[in-house]
Amino acid sequence: MGSVTLADALTHARRRLSEGGIEDAAREARLLVGGLLGLAPAALISQEARALTAEEEVLIEGALARRLDREPVYRILGQRPFFGLVLSLSPDTLEPRPDTEILVERLIPIAREVVAAKGKCRVLDLGTGTGAICLALIDAVAGVHGTGTDISAGALETARRNAQLNGLSDRFETLESDWFAAVSGRFDIIVSNPPYIRSTVVDGLAEEVRRFDPRRALDGGEDGLDAYYKIAEDALPHLQEGGAVAFEIGFDQKEAVTNLMVGKGFRLIEAASDLGGNDRVLVF
């Protein structure tokens, strides 16, 4: 001991993760060790000969044990990147997925147009969780003011912390609400990444998701569509004229969610696929 270098630690971490059945062990080892020591990828390479302190070794061992118990790497680190922001995570919040960045991307031009026309764009993010979607839009477009709702007070606390962490608190507020129940007023954009997985499917999800994401952020009821029914029911009176409603959806829900929204008087204006080529984003 005492002579363990950063390079040794990375090799050790990769081997343990790989032996523990973690896919992509090399990448996860770099993320974990780099994150724990506060070293960017380039520094992991340039400092590979540096000796670790005993405390650093203990820290890495502890994190490896958690990862081998299937806790996702960014939960162990306590935060993750999302659309250029750093978001803290908590047991009350879904860990934002890279696919959700596509939803943000699609909303940026819409928000810009509203700001160009009115000087300001009001966004309502239903079931905001970490605040990911709302905060990314606020960060990307000057003039966006966002309200993040959630049924979980713990999630809202995390969302507020994330607004603060990223310097966006002056244009972000939270509201404890079961979908629209406590919402008043009208918004230019209403967005949601609600729970959309069928109840029977949730139990079969990877342990990383099933055990560490909150079930109520995943479980969309028998057909996975419970949340869309509720949101579609009350969206119109909360939408500004010419406004947009945008959803993340499950890979096989495009038709059902479109029919649901069309039945409430909406028109589909855009659909986008995720990084794996599945239908993932709908804008009405």
- Binding-site sequence positions for substrate: 193-196
Binding residue ranges: 127-131, 150, 179, 193-196
Match 């608190």 to its residue by tokens.
169
Binding residue ranges for S-adenosyl-L-methionine: 127-131, 150, 179, 193
Sign of CA dihedral 56, 61, 62, 64: positive
Contact 233, 239 (CB under 8 A): no
- What are the backbone angles phi and psi of residue 282, rounded to the nearest 5°? -130, 140
Nearer to ligand GLN, 35 or 195 (CB): 195
Nearest to 151 by CA among 174, 185, 123: 174
Least CB distance to ligand GLN at residue 129 (A): 9
Measured distance CA(53)–CA(169) in Å, rounded: 38
Q: 276, exposed or middle or buried, with CB in 10 Å at 0-12, 13-18, 19+?
A: exposed
Contact 176, 156 (CB under 8 A): yes
Measured distance CA(194)–CA(179) in Å, rounded: 10
Nearer to ligand GLN, 138 or 209 (CB): 209
Least CB distance to ligand GLN at residue 194 (A): 6
Nearer to ligand GLN, 142 or 275 (CB): 275
Nearer to ligand GLN, 34 or 96 (CB): 96
Nearest to 175 by CA among 148, 152, 155, 146: 148
Measured distance CA(281)–CA(270) in Å, rounded: 8
Least CB distance to ligand GLN at residue 218 (A): 5
Binding site for ligand GLN (CB under 6 A): 97, 193-197, 209, 218, 248
Least CB distance to ligand GLN at residue 257 (A): 12
Nearer to ligand GLN, 26 or 212 (CB): 212
Least CB distance to ligand GLN at residue 230 (A): 14
